[in-house]
């Protein structure tokens, strides 16, 4: 079998799509060395070139090389392709959430890939939640959509060398014990609730277990009422600035140590196609306290405490319990490692290969 692989994001490891494309290709090559994977790379990298590459350049290349199947590891299927096309749709945020629909050009692009999705031989997505969302928003048949979960990188582990842990603590001025938030800051991440948790638990545990946020104080965020402000302004207005620490952007190589040093991971997101930060925390043996929304329960399982994403008080109670009750924390920490072990890039590759083979057979 010959797979033509759309490699637009292959050289962008700083993006989620880039990480997924790289990890999937490496795992496919590992589990199926007999399969011919031909990565098709673009010649230019601007917005106009991107659309041309996705809709013309890549399908033409797949046809020329006589590939059995054309795999696009992000939401950009070609409208017309002689080679059966398989596409990974991580989420349909621009369709599901009005705040993410963007300007005219972004809406036009979303309309293009939405229409093209109907012509894909098969769609892969990251969770059962996303699969249901895809069936709700895209004109596709249920049997043509498969949920195949992602995985955390193998470097996410609780076994971080002591000297590395100490160096990272000093680099980011980390306290001895802390609750961690490490993700981005767009609206669906529900940052005001994240800080409101410390309105409730700041006084009893805030100085022993401050909230460490991996971001700059001047990072712009939105309050629930739509008002734009910085992280520092939000913390000050909520009167939690004495128990919330901002450590700036964390380098990729330092993330395992920052996760592993946390007492728990606080994840208040309203919408996730998968929720990789939560899985990375679990892989480091860190329990998750957060929202029971979207795909997060699929990822966290019984390795955390999940509540309504807008209920800061109940979330605070869960944070206090995990931070102060050693028996509960240790139980959840063990479950975290067991839950994380259910996800691997080998599993992702095996299930993806099965989809590709079924498309070729049919």
pLDDT digits (tens, 9 = 90+) for 243-254: 999 999 999 999
Helix (H, G, I), strand (E, B) or coil at 204: helix
Assess whether 259 and 335 both reside in one domain: yes
Q: Which residue has the higher pLDDT, 45 or 219?
A: 219
| Helix boundaries (H) for the chain | 16-31, 47-52, 58-64, 93-96, 104-117, 128-137, 162-172, 191-205, 231-237, 255-260, 276-283, 296-300, 312-324, 326-340, 345-361
**Domain containing residue 89: CATH number:** 3.40.50.2000
Asked if residue 259 is part of any domain, the answer here is yes
Assess whether 305 and 278 both reside in one domain: yes
pLDDT digits (tens, 9 = 90+) for 27-71: 999 999 999 999 999 988 887 899 999 999 999 999 999 999 999
Assess whether 70 and 85 both reside in one domain: yes
Asked if residue 75 is part of any domain, the answer here is yes
Assess whether 253 and 357 both reside in one domain: no
Q: What angle do CA 94, 297, 246 make, to 5 degrees?
A: 75
Provide the CA 148 distance to its chain's centre, in angstroms: 14
Asked if residue 82 is part of any domain, the answer here is yes
- 39 φ, ψ (degrees, to nearest 5): -80, 125
Assess whether 348 and 312 both reside in one domain: no
Assess whether 181 and 324 both reside in one domain: yes
* Domain carrying residue 78: 2-151+344-361
Give the chain's mean pLDDT: 97
Q: Distance (Å, rounded) from C-alpha 71 to C-alpha 275?
A: 23
Assess whether 349 and 236 both reside in one domain: no
pLDDT digits (tens, 9 = 90+) for 259-285: 999 999 999 999 999 999 999 999 999
Assess whether 295 and 325 both reside in one domain: yes
Assess whether 99 and 192 both reside in one domain: no
- In percent, the amount of the chain with pLDDT more than 90 equals 96
Asked if residue 240 is part of any domain, the answer here is yes
Asked if residue 186 is part of any domain, the answer here is yes
* Contact assessment for residue 211 and residue 200, using Cβ atoms and an 8 Å cutoff: no
pTM: 0.96
Nearest to 16 by CA among 274, 343, 352: 274
Assess whether 261 and 289 both reside in one domain: yes
Assess whether 261 and 213 both reside in one domain: yes
> For residues 154, 157, 163 and 167, what is the CA-based torsion angle, rounded to 10 degrees?
90
Assess whether 229 and 182 both reside in one domain: yes
Asked if residue 157 is part of any domain, the answer here is no
Asked if residue 156 is part of any domain, the answer here is no
Structurally, the chain folds into a number of domains equal to 2
């Amino acid at each position: 079998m010959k797979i033509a692989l759309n490699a637009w994001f292959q050289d962008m490891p700083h993006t989620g799509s880039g990480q997924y494309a790289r990890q999937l290709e490496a795992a496919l090559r590992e589990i199926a060395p007999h399969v011919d994977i031909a990565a098709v790379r673009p010649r230019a990298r601007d917005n106009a070139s991107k659309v041309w590459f996705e809709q013309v350049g890549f399908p033409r290349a797949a046809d020329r090389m006589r590939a059995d199947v054309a795999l696009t590891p992000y939401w950009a299927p070609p409208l017309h392709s002689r080679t059966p096309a398989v596409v990974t749709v991580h989420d349909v945020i621009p369709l599901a959430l009005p705040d993410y629909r963007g300007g005219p050009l972004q809406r036009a692009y979303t309309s293009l890939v939405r229409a093209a999705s109907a012509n894909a031989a098969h769609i892969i997505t990251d969770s059962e939640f996303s699969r249901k969302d895809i069936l709700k928003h895209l004109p596709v048949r249920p049997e043509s959509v498969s949920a195949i979960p992602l995985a955390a990188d193998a470097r996410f582990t609780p076994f971080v060398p002591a000297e590395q842990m100490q160096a990272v603590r000093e680099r980011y001025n980390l306290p001895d014990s802390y609750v961690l938030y490490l993700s981005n800051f767009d609206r669906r991440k529900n940052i005001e609730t994240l800080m409101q948790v410390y309105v409730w638990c700041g006084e009893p545990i805030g100085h022993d277990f401050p909230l460490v946020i991996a971001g700059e104080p001047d990072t712009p965020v939105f309050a629930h009422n739509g008002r734009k402000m910085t992280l520092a302004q939000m913390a000050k207005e909520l009167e939690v600035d004495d128990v919330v620490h901002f450590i700036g952007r964390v380098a990729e190589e330092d993330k395992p140590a920052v996760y592993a040093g946390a007492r728990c991971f606080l994840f208040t997101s309203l919408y996730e196609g998968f929720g990789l930060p939560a899985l990375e925390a679990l892989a480091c043996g860190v329990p998750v306290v957060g929202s029971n929304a979207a795909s997060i329960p699929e990822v966290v399982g019984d390795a955390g405490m999940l509540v309504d994403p807008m209920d800061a008080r109940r979330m605070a109670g869960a944070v206090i319990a995990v931070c102060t009750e050693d028996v509960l924390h240790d139980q959840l920490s063990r479950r975290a490692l067991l839950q994380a072990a259910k996800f691997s890039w080998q599993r992702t590759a095996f299930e993806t290969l099965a989809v590709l083979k079924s498309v070729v057979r049919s």
